[in-house]
A and B are shown apart, each in its own frame.
Chain A
Amino acid sequence: MTIALSGVGYRYAGATKAALLDVDLELRDGEVIGLAGASEAGKTTLCLVVSGLAPRTVGGQVRGTITLDGEDVDTWPMHRLSQRIGIGFQNPSTQLSQVTDTVFEEVAFGPMNLGLTRDDVVARTWAALETLRIDELAERDPRRLSGGQQQLVAMAGLLAMRPEHLVLDEPTAQLDPAGTHLVADAIRRLAADGASILIAEHKADLLAAICSRVIVLDGGRVARLGATDEILGDPTIGELGVAEPSSVRLSRAVQAAGVQSDRLARALADG
């Protein structure tokens, strides 16, 4: 299963300048691609375009083609696209419907909208909760959970829609280290089970830990695209507003300090 962008550009309604220009990208089954870049580089815009929310909900103009398994999705309505591509945002509380009293109903909200049979809705909901290992939260009020737990509930809500691709726009931006760890674990498990994921993140350590490839945007254009080690280990990556992972920084510091221990450098480079 592949989602492919070819020569994609995007301009917000009323804007004179394009927010994205000539983006080519292929997201394959089971792959986690990191999306990095400075603020205003176009990361969120790319997430919106890949998920289909731009232009369907946000408005604006898209150029180029976006295909799912070779099929052009240009004319697909959002409710159809949302069953193939799920999107999560950085603020967990705005992703919750705010109308449900339990986590179970919150996760079931999407499948219920699809008009599936009750048994199917229930099965999908339990499956999503179990996948993210939050089924013990099923009875809790989603508004009373921690930020990390809310983010997992929001992700479970996306999974219950059974998309083939997930787009996550800075899912750990408002989370503490424990919350970030929970989300990172969940992403790793999802990818291991076959989901393909595009994740926009500022946390280089997280990208280094979970991504197989990284795409770096600069001014709406693709500035770098390649294997995670290669992109995040590039000494010039800081010029594009991307921090180096701590393993790379430590490795450089060790070398700069003249420490000759190859074993130490290798261990640090391996993370």
Chain B
Amino acid sequence: MAGGSRLSEASATNRGVPDFLGRPGPSAYHRLNPLTKATLATVTAIAAVVIGGLSGPTILVVVAVIGPAIAAGVLGRLARMSLLLALPIALSALLVNVFFFPGGETVLLRIGPIVATAEGLAFALEILARIMAISGAITLFYLTTRPADLVVDLERRGISPRVAFVANASVQTVPAMVERAAQITAAQRARGMDTEGSVWRRVRGIVPIVGPVILGSIAEVEERTMALEARGFTRPGRRTLLWAPSDSGGQSLARWALIAALAALIAARVAGVVG
């Protein structure tokens, strides 16, 4: 081959795979295989729904969310993010159940025709515990796992490279779109658009920002597609992987144990043993 080939061969060195690829995370929990963390998050979220009641989901939050978060050193960020994530749903669930719980008899508070009942409050707390377990589990996974780690691991296990790319690109594109939105906001404000003040002004300001963000992203799709094509993306067959997250027999066993425990829990719930 000529051109680039001769060039590359001439300057090829004996450097191996760089050690910064797949660099292990800062804590033992970070270093768990992504699939193990994904399994724990999924099982925790489903189990919180299946168990029901207040104590079950609360114990789950403590054992499967707060405990690992302390071990990973992310408890503060987890609390902030999961509260932010769950707040809108949690607030509406609290208000609806406390004030409109059907059949509630023990009156805690009366505001005109609206009555807050103890039964409604108890049920709302149960819902809140489930929501916290679900949002906490998802946030913990997000805070301790890089998207690339999960995608590489799934690809190693046989998932299609195209599916892996789309999954990874979907997650990684979010920060780029946020950055683009910030640039467009600054540009629109420089031209006199008012994005501050009343809620109505803020809502009106969204339209000239969202339009360019979405249209700009769509316009880039063609060039991105061509760039991918030019780099062999459509070649059929497996891709080469340079590294993969570590895994172990113990973690594999733990994943299956978690799945088995969830299956047993669901069976027990169906049989009426729990809940």
With A102-B21, A105-B242, A115-B239 as known contacts, state yes or no: A58 contacts B226, CB within 8 Å: yes
Q: What 0/1 readout, one digit per residue, does chain B (222-248) give for beta carbons within 8 Å of chain A? A: 111111111111110111111000000
Name the distance in Å between B6's Cβ and chain A's nearest Cβ.
5
A98 touches B12 (CB 8 A): no
A82 touches B9 (CB 8 A): no
Which one of A83, A100, A108, A127 has the highest number of Cβ atoms from chain B below 10 Å of its Cβ? A127
With A86-B4, A126-B13, A193-B7 as known contacts, state yes or no: A53 contacts B229, CB within 8 Å: yes
| Residue from the list B16, B21, B168, B220 in contact with A99, Cβ < 8 A | B168
Which chain A residues lie closer than 8 Å to B224 at the CB level? 94-95, 98
Bound-complex Cα distance A124 to B238 (A): 18
Q: What 0/1 readout, one digit per residue, does chain B (2-35) give for beta carbons within 8 Å of chain A? A: 1111111111110111101100000000000000
Contact residues of A between 118 and 171, Cβ < 8 Å to B: 118, 121-124, 126-128, 130-131, 138-139, 143, 154, 157-166
Name the distance in Å between B132's Cβ and chain A's nearest Cβ.
31
Which chain B residues lie closer than 8 Å to A79 at the CB level? 229, 232-235
Which chain B residues lie closer than 8 Å to A163 at the CB level? 3-4
Looking at B134-142, B169-177, B192-200, the stretch in contact with chain A turns out to be B169-177
Which chain B residues lie closer than 8 Å to A53 at the CB level? 226, 229-230
B15 touches A126 (CB 8 A): yes
Asked if B256 is at the interface (CB within 8 A of a chain A CB), the reply is no
A162 touches B242 (CB 8 A): no
Q: How many residues of A contact B (CB 8 A)?
A: 68
Asked if A173 is at the interface (CB within 8 A of a chain B CB), the reply is no
| Residue from the list A29, A89, A99, A115 in contact with B169, Cβ < 8 A | A99
Which one of A78, A79, A94, A99 has the highest number of Cβ atoms from chain B below 10 Å of its Cβ? A99
Q: How many residues of B contact A (CB 8 A)?
A: 51
A164 touches B5 (CB 8 A): yes
A161 touches B232 (CB 8 A): yes
Name the distance in Å between B83's Cβ and chain A's nearest Cβ.
28
B3 touches A195 (CB 8 A): yes
Which chain A residues lie closer than 8 Å to B169 at the CB level? 97-99
Asked if A196 is at the interface (CB within 8 A of a chain B CB), the reply is yes
Contact residues of B between 43 and 89, Cβ < 8 Å to A: none
Name the distance in Å between B153's Cβ and chain A's nearest Cβ.
14
Q: What 0/1 readout, one digit per residue, does chain A (179-219) give for beta carbons within 8 Å of chain B? A: 00000000000100111100000000000000000000000
Asked if B151 is at the interface (CB within 8 A of a chain A CB), the reply is yes
Bound-complex Cα distance A131 to B9 (A): 10
With A159-B8, A193-B6 as known contacts, state yes or no: A111 contacts B240, CB within 8 Å: yes
B7 touches A143 (CB 8 A): no
A114 touches B235 (CB 8 A): yes
B7 touches A102 (CB 8 A): no
Which chain A residues lie closer than 8 Å to B233 at the CB level? 79, 113
Which chain B residues lie closer than 8 Å to A143 at the CB level? 175-176
B230 touches A51 (CB 8 A): yes
Residue pairs across A and B with Cβ atoms less than 8 A apart, 24 shown, are A51-B230, A79-B229, A79-B234, A82-B232, A94-B220, A95-B224, A98-B172, A101-B148, A105-B148, A115-B240, A117-B240, A118-B242, A121-B240, A122-B17, A124-B8, A126-B13, A127-B11, A154-B227, A159-B7, A161-B231, A164-B3, A165-B3, A193-B10, A195-B2
Top-10 shortest CB links A-B? A79-B235, A110-B231, A113-B232, A195-B3, A193-B7, A127-B8, A164-B3, A1-B2, A99-B168, A94-B223
Beyond the given pairs A91-B220, A165-B3, 17 more chain A to chain B contacts, judged by CB atoms under 8 angstroms and listed by A's residue number, are A1-B1, A53-B226, A79-B234, A82-B230, A87-B230, A98-B173, A99-B151, A104-B20, A105-B21, A113-B161, A122-B242, A127-B7, A138-B20, A158-B230, A161-B231, A194-B3, A195-B3
Chain B residues in the interface with A (C-beta under 8 A): 1-13, 15-18, 20-21, 146, 148, 151, 161, 165, 168-169, 172-173, 175-176, 220, 222-235, 237-242
